[in-house]
Amino acid sequence: MITREQYEEARDLALEYFESADIAITDEEKERIEVADFGLSDLKNTGLELLVYVNTTRCCAKELVLFPGQTCPEHKHPDVEGEPGKEETFRCRSGEVYLYVPGKKTSNPKAKAPKGREKYYTVWHEIILKPGEQYTLTPDTLHWFQAGSEGAIVSEFSTKSRDEADIFTDPDIARMTKVK
Amino acid sequence: MITREQYEEARDLALEYFESADIAITDEEKERIEVADFGLSDLKNTGLELLVYVNTTRCCAKELVLFPGQTCPEHKHPDVEGEPGKEETFRCRSGEVYLYVPGKKTSNPKAKAPKGREKYYTVWHEIILKPGEQYTLTPDTLHWFQAGSEGAIVSEFSTKSRDEADIFTDPDIARMTKVK
């Protein structure tokens, strides 16, 4: 849960990120920026700010903002109703982002799992994305990511987004954020 | 057909557009920017510069650059092999773009059809896109677009891109550009 004040603070900071990266958004879009705390009430460490540009039955595009050290927790996108799960490409627009996927564990990874939730971070193969770099994830692949010390903006290009179908490793996570 | 020199000039100018819009691209991407003259050998008027970020069987994202007054000619994306045609969202990132789709003809439209090809421009319902504004096209819908006097950058979010399947109104058009 986040308070109305926390929501507005995070939204306004996300708007500053867009502005300093020269990403134009409309007034209507400014009003519908989402702030997700994933139900852990620790937005600074586990959280994400996002703007969905388009999400049809066939494809989706979003802009994600992560504040310094903020983490989008480990999850995957399973098949839904006989359709293959969400396929997504993350493209770093500004800052630096550390993405973790299954594979050989990276020694001395750049990111740290959020405190107290370490056991719910199980994939440690690191991909570093700097501005202009991107990575495409196949469906049903565990992943999580964290921004570097300057925060990050990441464009996400994907098939239909169904957040409610996501499976998180951490059982305490609820994708839908409550604003008090 | 375009000459190698024209290709390089257009590519370098597209790179300047990306740079001035703060859109980071990698060195590998710089080498594969496409310049399309649609076979009309009149790149200044009928043409498009583009960078495909990702194009899988399920979804696609591109960055399009149009120089001042440059036109992407009228076309549509039909169903292919029993699959619905390409659905696409155009999002203006910088400059101004005039998009034309079926519907009530707009009086005093901002764009002019390229000289000598006027009869191949048949849809005239105008949508003006400024930075941060976007429009989603359903499959198999005729459309064309032209940049304003400062050129434009447009992000395209879509289902799989199959340029070779596009149907152009102008019978002289060939989507695949030859570089001499």
Ranges assigned E (strand) in B42-141? 48-55, 60-66, 71-76, 88-101, 125-129, 134-137
Q: Please check the confidence at residue A176 and state whether its pLDDT lies above 80.
A: no
User: What's the token pair of residue A164?
Assistant: 């409610």
Q: How confident is the model at residue B177 (pLDDT cuts 50, 70, 90)?
A: confident
Q: Under an 8 A CB cutoff, do A60 and B132 touch? A: no
Q: Please check the confidence at residue B175 and state whether its pLDDT lies above 90.
A: no
Here the ipTM equals 0.95
Note whether A55 contacts B: Cβ–Cβ < 8 A: no
Q: How confident is the model at residue A66 (pLDDT cuts 50, 70, 90)?
A: very high
Q: How confident is the model at residue A51 (pLDDT cuts 50, 70, 90)?
A: very high
Percentage of chain A with pLDDT > 70? 100
Q: Under an 8 A CB cutoff, do B59 and A87 touch? A: yes
- What is the per-residue pLDDT across B67-125, written as a single tens digit (0 to 9) for each? 999 999 999 999 998 889 999 999 999 999 999 999 999 999 999 999 999 999 999 99
The predicted model scores a pTM of: 0.96
Rounded to 10 degrees, the C-alpha dihedral B102/B171/B71/B77 comes to 50
User: What's the token pair of residue B143?
Assistant: 């459309």
Q: Under an 8 A CB cutoff, do A157 and B59 touch? A: yes
Side chain identity at B106, as an amino acid letter? Answer: T
> Considering only residues 125 to 144 of chain B, which have any Cβ-Cβ distance to chain A shorter than 8 Å?
130-134, 136
- What is the per-residue pLDDT across A85-95, written as a single tens digit (0 to 9) for each? 999 999 999 99
Q: Please check the confidence at residue B29 and state whether its pLDDT lies above 90.
A: yes
Q: Please check the confidence at residue B176 and state whether its pLDDT lies above 80.
A: no
Cα separation of A119 and A122, whole Å?
A: 7
User: What's the token pair of residue B15?
Assistant: 């790179």
Question: Which residues in A136-161 are b (16+ Cβ under 10 Å) and which e?
Answer: ebebeebbbbbbbeebbbbbbbbbbb
Note whether B28 contacts A: Cβ–Cβ < 8 A: no
Residues A128-142: what's their mean pLDDT? 97
**B36 to chain A nearest CA, in Å?**
23
Note whether A45 contacts B: Cβ–Cβ < 8 A: no
